[in-house]
Amino acid sequence: MAGVKDWARADALRVLRDGTPADVLDWEDLAGRHGFDLDELDDPEGIVPISALYAVFEEAAEASGDDARIFDVFNASDVGEFSLFDYLFTCAPTLREGCHAWQRFMQIRSNAYTVTFAEEEGRGVLEWKLQDRHGTWRQNMFARMAWAARGFEAALGTRPAPIEIELATGAPVCTSDFLRRYGSRIRFDGTRNIISIEARYLDAQPVRNDNNLYAIIERASLGELNLRARNTSPLSAIAEVIAETMKAGTCTLPTVAATLGMSERSLQRTMENEGVSFRELTAHVRRAAARRYLRETTLPIKEVSYLLGYSEVSTFSRAVRQWFGCPPRVLRQNPELCVTESPQGFLSDFSSSLGQEG
């Protein structure tokens, strides 16, 4: 789809479509309302707007009346369903190299989020860094985690895999075979979207390891990565750093520019070329994050305010009132209020106090 700035591969929607009863969703209607081409779903190179991807996943859960079913749909998907990206993991020389490959080549899947891999305190940790500014990603993250768990299962030849999962969103009301199988190994209402595994497994050779095939897949992935990189919007990288520094209480223009390895003027110029200011993008990121934390988690409001860079809960409460027309506790009890936002939108004056809030 020409002109799509923040995109994701369309094959995830194809798996959702094929795993959902035909009478649950009207796909022509979805395509029209969310601005994507149905032909992209069956095109191996097809892409859709990331906001459309998230919205359709949420509508599917609502229409089916089952907010946990998606775990089973994506955990049951075949290896190879997501083209090169599947084989980068299952054919890697070691599990560690498979994890590094996911981090390295994530941009062939989307330019709107990243995956990082690190070894922390005796565990390997894969983290998905999604942006709230693209809409509610809850159901899509459920799908990602179930798909990634399937990758570990296939690589190690065991089900369930010896992994632990943390999700930065609330638990579903319903349950599923996947949730029952992983049980206490899944933690909801966390601060990150991660899969972790003991470091002793990282040197394990995946069951399907094939070094010759892996070399071919890696070369093909490099070619696709170079092609995709030409169409990458810089706003996603900037917004991701804003979100991370916001949690640390260090979200200022100088800090974000330094983290990105840019001068302050260069950062401002980049955003101006995209039609947004640092203040506007920061406010948009903050408002979207507030909406998610209050709608989809049970984190204490005091903790939410700190995660958004507010040193005082009262300041955060005033911001929420301005954004959504009601205080945080009312919004949490009535999440449908987020559908209608206050006229100020994300250009809240509270963003001007960014440099003084934490």
Superfamily of domain 234-356: Homeodomain-like (1.10.10.60)
Q: Which two tokens stand for residue 298?
A: 């049970």
Dihedrals phi, psi of 175, to nearest 5 degrees = -125, 180
The string of pLDDT tens digits covering residues 237-261 is: 888 889 888 888 889 999 999 988 8
Identify whether the C-beta of residue 127 lies closer than 8 Å to the C-beta of residue 116. yes
> What does the alpha-carbon distance between residue 289 and residue 211 come to, in Å, rounded to a whole number?
42
**DSSP H/E element including 186:** strand 186-187
First-residue to last-residue Cα distance in the chain: 41
The string of pLDDT tens digits covering residues 8-54 is: 999 999 999 999 999 999 999 999 999 999 999 999 889 999 999 99
What pLDDT is attached to residue 345? 39
| Geometric angle at alpha carbon 148, from 146 and 149, rounded to 5° | 65
Mark 219-250 as b/e (b = at least 16 C-beta within 10 Å).
eebeebeeebeeeeebbbebbbbbbebbbeee
The owner of tokens 């054919």 is 91
Mean pLDDT confidence for 101-129: 93
Which are the contacts of 261, defined by CB distance < 8 A and separation ≥ 6?
none
> What does the alpha-carbon distance between residue 309 and residue 222 come to, in Å, rounded to a whole number?
38
The string of pLDDT tens digits covering residues 168-214 is: 999 999 999 999 999 999 999 999 999 999 999 999 999 989 889 88
Domain ranges for the chain, please list them: 69-227, 234-356
Q: Which two tokens stand for residue 353?
A: 């106090």
